[in-house]
Amino acid sequence: MQALVGVIYHFFGGFASGSFYIPYKKVKGWSWESYWIVGGVFSWLIVPPLAAYLTIPGFADIIRGASSSVLFYTFLFGALWGIGGLTYGLGVRYLGVALGSSIILGLCSVFGALIPSVYYQFYPKAGKDSIGMIAGSAWGQMVLLGLLVGIIGIAVCGVAGKMKDKDLGGTETDASGTEFKIGLGLFVAIVSGVLSACFAFGIDSGKDMANVANEAWKAVHPGQGEFLYQNNVTYIIIMWGGLLTNFVWCMILNFRNKSFGDYTNKKTPIFKNYLFSAIAGTTWFLQFFFYGMGESRLGNGPSSWILHMSFIIIVANLWGLILKEWKGVRRKTFGTVVAGIVIILLSVLVVGYGNSIK
């Protein structure tokens, strides 16, 4: 029953992540950097402490009691993840919700599995699997096979993107209004896929804070399992790191594009723009809120990560169909991207099976 509840939580998290960009499409008359940072203020600054306040009594004391090294590394990995989040937004902007999310999350799955194991090869830690341990075991070889399949799926999606670019005849937007730019989109998607994997490091670095919250809750609720919201205190520091990198870059773009006036431009539907940006930012954070709940039931490991990635890919591609992002392309092009998505999902299942026989 615990596992089933965990799967449901991960579905909600995946739905939030796969859907968060949709409200941004309702913003009118603002530059990308303006609505992105307004949404970011909600997702990285306002909502995380509010969620912690509602779920973790004394969360501020837990943060104050954490060591400087825990806070520093949690913040650092949050900042690196923030670059991944920033380029995620750009990837979806230039590739569309379906193609952008599939490529980025496929890469995120691959690097999220490989980077920690390579790190622990050089800096061993009890309970952590190094790349050598993975490569030398039957379950690990299955995981590596799944990652290879994932890379193939990502490549197929990339080919589909190039086919779409050709089908559209070099037009700047597709039927959904996406600014389709295959070269730039693939570049930022790769950057996002690599750096988004740092989120897992942020959770691991801040685990001491989550453990304090968990133990305090268990002392009051003995025999009731693990604390459902223990990661909410860690998210605050991770999100601060993400806010820093995104804020700096968006302010640079505001200056470069002379778009500071967006925030007060009454010629635009200003109230709706703030509202939809706030909804998008809040939805963005909810993916982590539900991920933490699912993790508390399934554990902070491959099972949680794989379910999260799978649900996001599925939901994002359903939105891609609803928004008609593939309208006007040849049947061969559409079939190619479907094949790529299926291969990515297959790779996720193979990795999941490998970890299940560990």
Residue 41's identity, in one-letter code, is V
pLDDT tens across 5-40, in order? 777 887 888 888 888 888 998 999 999 999 999 999
pLDDT tens across 248-297, in order? 999 999 999 999 999 999 999 999 999 999 999 999 899 888 877 776 66
Q: In a 10 Å sphere around its CB, with 0-12 CB exposed, 13-18 middle and 19+ buried, how is residue 123 labelled? A: exposed
Q: Residue 63's pLDDT is what? A: 97
pLDDT tens across 178-208, in order? 566 767 777 887 888 778 778 878 888 898 9
Rounded Cα distance between 189 and 193, Å, is 6
Q: What angle do CA 318, 323, 327 make, to 5 degrees?
A: 100
Whole-number percent of the chain with pLDDT over 70? 88
- Neighbouring C-beta atoms of residue 20, cutoff 10 Å: 26
For residue 329, the number of C-alpha atoms closer than 13 Å in the C-beta half-sphere is 26
Give the contacts of 242 (CB within 8 A, at least 6 positions apart).
40, 44, 78, 79, 81, 82, 85
pTM given for the model: 0.77
Kindly state the DSSP code that residue 31 receives in the 8-state scheme: -
More confident residue, 245 or 139: 245
Q: Look at residues 235, 236, 230, 234 and name the one whose alpha carbon lies nearest to residue 213.
A: 230
| pLDDT higher than 60, residue 175 | no
| Pick from 57-61, 217-221, 237-241, 315-319: least confident | 315-319
| pLDDT higher than 70, residue 104 | yes
pLDDT tens across 311-320, in order? 777 777 778 7
At residue 59, φ and ψ (nearest 5 deg) are: -60, -35
Give the contacts of 227 (CB within 8 A, at least 6 positions apart).
213, 214, 217, 218, 296
